[in-house]
Amino acid sequence: MEIHIVADAEAGAKVVADVFTRTLQAAGDTGAVLGLATGSSPVPAYEELIRRHREDGLSFARSRAFLLDEYVGLPAGHEQSYHRFIRENFTSHVDIDDAAVVSPDGTAVDPVAEAASYDRRLQEAGGVDLQILGIGSNGHIAFNEPGSSLASRTRVVGLARSTIEDNSRYFASAEDVPVRALSQGLGTILEARRIVLTATGAGKAEAVAQLAEGPISARWPATALQMHPDVTVVVDEAAAARLELADYYRYSRRLEAENPLTSGA
């Protein structure tokens, strides 16, 4: 796990966008399969990617994208649906085909069957090349709340009270926030070939510390990422405030920049 401690969200967005850029360039003409998160954490990175598309010619034309989750009961056109969010904040501003941006159907008659179908669609696409994640203050990633199985698959989940309260800022009131969602499971997320997680603010500091330095536990679902071989964590100083090894992470990144390793090929 690589930990990048940056000055602010803008600096973090550039690090995350660099990971996306390398992934897209490596995929070449075949295109990359991207896993996209919603919420406030990834928005600065999406804004930087939009800028690179417009000013530097970064292309998403051959890529496909899968969302992490969707509220149960919200139609795609609802102003708070994640289907709509990702288009308004990212994909409609770049050259990815809208039909190639896939999300769970929050209005499915059988949400359990929809979850299983979505998990199969991810596998049939060949898996995710790069998954971007945020993290909740209680350590959830996607909507995998504390207590989620570390091997869980895409499923219907009930939202924790803290998550409902955190997300109520997007709705008229907490009572308007759906209480269930369709969410990729931790096991599903861990199948992505590369993962980048971004977080800012003091409210995420404990979750980030547990993610990077705590024991692997369902109490803090994001700790499952410790089992993945290629995870980049990008946090600002406030979110890094409880990392005991913060000085080491800074030293490692500085050493890496000054003395880059090569494969020797």
- Catalytic site includes residue 191: no
Q: Give 2-258's CATH code, choosing from 3.40.50.1360, 3.30.70.100, 3.20.20.150, 3.30.2000.20.
A: 3.40.50.1360
Residue 57 pLDDT exceeds 60: yes
Residue 264, pLDDT score: 42
262 pLDDT tier (thresholds 50, 70, 90): low
Region 43-69 average pLDDT: 97
Considering the chain, what percentage of its residues have pLDDT values greater than 70? Answer: 98
Per DSSP, 217 falls in state B
Residue 265, pLDDT score: 36
Residue 148 pLDDT exceeds 90: yes
- Catalytic site includes residue 144: no
Residue 62 pLDDT exceeds 60: yes
Mean of the per-residue pLDDT values for the chain? 95
Q: How far apart are CA 5 and CA 235, in angstroms?
A: 5
pTM: 0.94
Residue 132 pLDDT exceeds 50: yes
Q: In what order do the strands lie in the sheet with 130-133?
A: 2-6, 231-236, 195-199, 130-133, 33-36, 64-67, 101-102
Residues contacting 37, CB < 8 A, separation 6+: 67, 68, 131, 132, 133, 134, 142
Active-site option among 114, 140, 144, 236: 140
Q: How far apart are CA 152 and CA 13, in angstroms?
A: 29
Q: What residue ranges do the domains of the chain occupy?
A: 2-258
Residue predicted with more confidence, 112 or 168: 112
153: region left, alpha or beta (phi > 0 left; psi from -120 to 50 alpha):
beta
- Catalytic site includes residue 138: yes
Active-site option among 89, 138, 144, 167: 138
Active-site option among 114, 145, 166, 236: 145
Residue 173, pLDDT score: 85
What's the pLDDT tens digit per position in 69-103? 999 999 999 999 999 999 999 999 999 999 999 99
Region 46-62 average pLDDT: 97
What's the pLDDT tens digit per position in 192-247? 999 999 999 999 999 999 999 999 999 999 999 999 999 999 999 999 999 999 99
Residue 169, pLDDT score: 87
- Catalytic site includes residue 228: no
Q: How far apart are CA 114 and CA 141, in angstroms?
A: 20
